[in-house]
Amino acid sequence: MNISDQLRLQNPWWTDPNYQPTEARLPKRELFTQLIHDTTTLKQMISLTGMRRTGKSTLIRQIIASLLANTPVISIMYFSFDEPTVREEKDTLEKLLTVYIQNILHKQIHEISETCYIFLDEIQLVPYWQDILKRYYDLSQHLKFVLTGSSSLFLRTKSKESLAGRIFEKQLPPLSYMEYQTLLSKGSFDEYLDFGGFPELLELNDISKKREYLKYWIIGKILEIDLPNLGGVRLVAEFERLFWSLLPNTSQIIHFPKLGAELGIKRNTLFRYLSLLQGSLLINGVANIAGSFRSTSRTLRKLYPASPNFLALSPTESTPGAQAETYVAQTLINKFGTVNLYHKREKEVDFVLPEQKMAIEVKCQNTIHKEDYKFLMQFTKEKNYQPLLITKYPIVESLPVPTVELSKIEEYFK
């Protein structure tokens, strides 16, 4: 099948003006409103990144459905590079854009006078995509590119530098609890923590199938396909061993020399692998802010999986505390970006938000004692920060520190 045929197959609205993507009927993610605003108002490219199976393609097709209401159909082009046959030729992207402009729009690039929306799905699979799109972007201000990628599209620094000022990156995280409630009104918070972070998981009833889906269709694809291709990882087995070793250590301070020695991975390689795991959006890092900038204590950090659902695959049974902290880390990072911790001489605060001047402690026991928040109060008093205690269960008694229930933190930080 040639490029022209593939284009027409993936853009049925060109031949059927009444066509509507089926995804238009599905509930919208929280990011939908912001994404369609940026798509229609900004001249820069928009990239939508996120782990596999978070719903990027669905969201893109919902954007297309919205545009079809008041945009000429041939001014909307969608193409997915997820099929191996599509990627066989290195110049597929170049051919695709040439065919679209010359054979569909029947114009030369300098003749385009109205905005054309070009949606390119799984663009990270295309070699040198950033150089090609940079050239087209510079040639015409009427081509609006919206891209998706199953990990950060900028694992390679040069990719980001080449598009500086020309692209805005958005991330689509796993489902929030509020989104989960919209999709599955009868689902409980505990069920969400276990298996509620990915839309297709909600359609599976068997727990073993849910675990298989997480392990092979999300994590496995990223570790075995995306990262070797994007990050140049040659020893895939070594890389996978590192990821699976991190799950049992969720919410624990990571001592990197010890971890590297246990896995037989050299220090520089270990840090490179960890950087790639974060770039792939599989894990979130929370760095220690205790001590001076040069202090070794600042190299201490905790690593959390990007979703508490991944703890269902841990080689050892995860604790409620690890699951709760992972959910809090996910929520805070999605909201604020960078999140820190404080750890010094066995004293610790789980999460610190310097810009918001807030310090947060997470507790999962039924009864809260003074010792559970004593250092939090001391730390926040010294720093003039606002303290917050997040508890797994509702707290009946009055405490001298503000508290919020774990299942309500998304509303609290909204």
Looking at residue 296, its pLDDT comes to 45
* Contacts of 9 by beta carbon, 8 Å cutoff, 6+ apart: 1
pTM: 0.91
Q: Which long-range contacts (CB under 8 A, 24 or more apart) does 156-160 make?
A: 156/230, 159/130
- In order of 51, 204, 221, 315, the CA distances from 208 in angstroms are 21, 9, 18, 15
CATH topology of domain 3-171: Rossmann fold (3.40.50)
CA distance 176 to 193: 10
CA distance 122 to 52: 10
* Contacts of 280 by beta carbon, 8 Å cutoff, 6+ apart: 51, 151, 152, 155, 222, 226, 227, 230, 231
CA distance 215 to 27: 26
Looking at residue 298, its pLDDT comes to 52
Whether the Cβ atoms of residue 56 and residue 50 lie closer than 8 Å to each other: yes
CA distance 129 to 124: 7
Looking at residue 111, its pLDDT comes to 96
Q: Where are the domains of the chain?
A: 3-171, 234-412
Residue closest to 175 by CA, chosen among 141, 156, 198: 198
Whether the Cβ atoms of residue 55 and residue 29 lie closer than 8 Å to each other: yes
Residue numbers in the chain where pLDDT is lower than 70: 1, 84-89, 152-160, 292-299
Looking at residue 136, its pLDDT comes to 97
CA distance 163 to 185: 41
